[in-house]
Structure 1
Amino acid sequence: MSNVYWYGNRYVSQEEVLISPEDRGYYFGDGAYEVFRFYSGRLYETDAHLKRLWHTAAGLRLTLPFTEAELTSRLEELVRRSGAADGNVYLQITRGAAPRAHPFPKGAEPVVMAYASSVDRPLAAMETGIRAVAVEDIRWLRCDYKTLNLLPNVMAKQEALDRGADEAVLHRDGTVTECSASNLMIVKDGTVRTHPANRFILHGVTRAVVLRLARAAEIPVLEQPFTLDELASADEIFITGTTVEVTPVVALNGQAVGSGKPGPVTRRLQQQFAATLPS
């Protein structure tokens, strides 16, 4: 499997990717990113990822130097050149390189970089479940933009690891939002509940797929904020995301969730999600 990057509108090796020290992504985190999943060499839910990327770019007033069709073609070729079957494509666009100053620079050209990497499906975690802990959500108020400003997420993830868990469940004054690197759903009395897709969470592509599947299966869905107390009393908890798919949470703050094993609604949604994957 080759190590190929898309940079400067060319397919190059990693050694040929040269980032300026004046790049605004380096100085300010001034840019957007997107992570696409591919299975059997085929991109998954491409249109949804593109819609989110354009939403982020519009919010940041960031000009994207390609059309949706052009970007899709480039990423598909990147996947092909990588030689990977299952994996991720990481795409990053910064506002460009310019002398360090807070205002948007005039004439700076966006810097685009992308690469594909082989990533296996998280089957072990999906089968046995993961542990989570509650962590205060200290992020800014536009979490619906997928920007490069991820330090609060990094700090939350590290706190979870330091406390012997795998993921951090974020909350704002006791209202649960999402996780450090995934969306969060609970099941109570057969109903799937999750925070609404507003500015306090990232509008997850896998989140949207799972909610669509749940509704199609006539599983009740409630997009409404819930509290830490409601989280603690949930029958089931699971996370969703491009890299984690549908992964059960079997322990929260050191206490078992439900029976301490993945629950029936989670299992059903895992099966339904797997049925949507390219083969």
Structure 2
Amino acid sequence: MEYGFFNGQFIPLESASVNLEDRGYQFGDGIYEVTRVYNGKCFALDRHLARCRRSMRELRIPITYMDEELTAIHYDLIAKSGIKDGTIYFQFTRGTAKRTHAFPDQVIPNLSMTIHESTPNRQWQEHGMECLLFEDLRWLRCDIKSLNLLGSVLAKQAAHDKGLQGAIQFRKDTNLITEGSSSNFFIVKDGLIWTHPTDHLILKGVTRSILFEEIIPQLGYTVVEKAFTPEFALSAEEAFVTSTSLEVTPVIAIDGHTIGNGTPGKITQSLLESYRKLIQKECYQA
């Protein structure tokens, strides 16, 4: 059963409501995270909570829930819903107050959470995604996981309209690729893994961090954190995206141009295999 949580109360989703003067509803004034549940256990939850704290600090939203409380709510949602494999979405808004652009005084953040059944798209992982190249229209603080997602919505819809599975975004002023529409983007060229550096133009993904800190060093690959052009990406041998929902998923074509030989590459496959082993260790082994 899909279930929700709002400001201390567990509720069925069909009975949930939002105050019309919630600043998340009126301004997009808030942050969010999406965590993955495997076998009834949260994967990499500590990393998501750390990024949540950073986003809240950057937007000056007061922290009113401790990590231990948020962890407990995650597991209560899993228990109440009975969902063993899925995703948990949670967001903090600045709170509810009379509409004014400046931060209101004496307002308490609102916390809402939902859990849904879902599994990674194994077909995409096995055969690869075909993506659209799309201008990056987002604001200049993409390092904050904020509720302002209209740029990503437009990118994903543009891909959907063409029957494609995702979008790869680039900044028109520099002609440099940033990331996917809701993922980090990588290419493999001459045996090196290339990706945009972590600055204000991309989100430091949890899956990206796991690859960098736990998987790539063990596999002995070399990463080049440097922005590159769409033309450079199209000449790559491999490409892939990473996110909590997508895990590690190959990209086999961009804007109708085949990447490499049009099949998932060996380096991409090895990263996915190692990522799955981490999930197995954390969520399936006693």
What range describes the TM-score normalised by the shorter chain of this pair? over 0.9
User: How far off is 1:31 after superposition?
Assistant: 0.6
Number of aligned residue pairs: 278
| 1:97-176 pair list within 5 angstroms | 97-172=96-171, 173-176=174-177
| Match of residue 222 from structure 1 | 224
| Match of residue 240 from structure 2 | 238
Q: The residue matched to 1:249 in structure 2 has which SS?
A: strand
| 1:9-24 pair list within 5 angstroms | 9-24=8-23
Q: Aligned partner of 1:186: which letter? A: I
* Distance in 1, Cα, partners of 2:159 & 2:120: 22
| Match of residue 276 from structure 2 | 274
Q: Is contact 1:215-1:221 (8 Å) kept?
A: no
* Distance in 2, Cα, partners of 1:240 & 1:22: 35
Of 264-273 and 208-217, deviating more is 208-217
User: How far off is 1:15 after superposition?
Assistant: 3.5
* Distance in 1, Cα, partners of 2:228 & 2:128: 22
Q: Is contact 1:210-1:269 (8 Å) kept?
A: yes
* Distance in 2, Cα, partners of 1:122 & 1:81: 25
TM-score, normalised relative to structure 2: 0.94
| 1:26-105 pair list within 5 angstroms | 26-105=25-104
* Distance in 2, Cα, partners of 1:60 & 1:107: 16
User: How far off is 1:208 after superposition?
Assistant: 1.1
| Match of residue 187 from structure 2 | 186
Q: Aligned Cα RMSD in Å?
A: 1.1
Cα deviation digits, residues 170-209 of structure 1 (max 9, x gap):
1113111101111101001111111111111011001111
* Distance in 2, Cα, partners of 1:128 & 1:211: 24
Q: The residue matched to 1:240 in structure 2 has which SS?
A: strand
| Match of residue 211 from structure 1 | 212
Of 18-27 and 236-245, deviating more is 18-27
Q: Aligned partner of 1:188: which letter? A: K
Q: Aligned partner of 1:181: which letter? A: S
TM-score, normalised relative to structure 1: 0.97
* Distance in 2, Cα, partners of 1:10 & 1:58: 25
- The answer for unaligned runs of 5 or more in structure 1 is none
| Match of residue 201 from structure 1 | 202
User: How far off is 1:5 after superposition?
Assistant: 1.1
User: How far off is 1:223 after superposition?
Assistant: 1.3
* Distance in 2, Cα, partners of 1:15 & 1:125: 31
Q: Aligned partner of 1:246: which letter? A: V
- The answer for unaligned runs of 5 or more in structure 2 is none
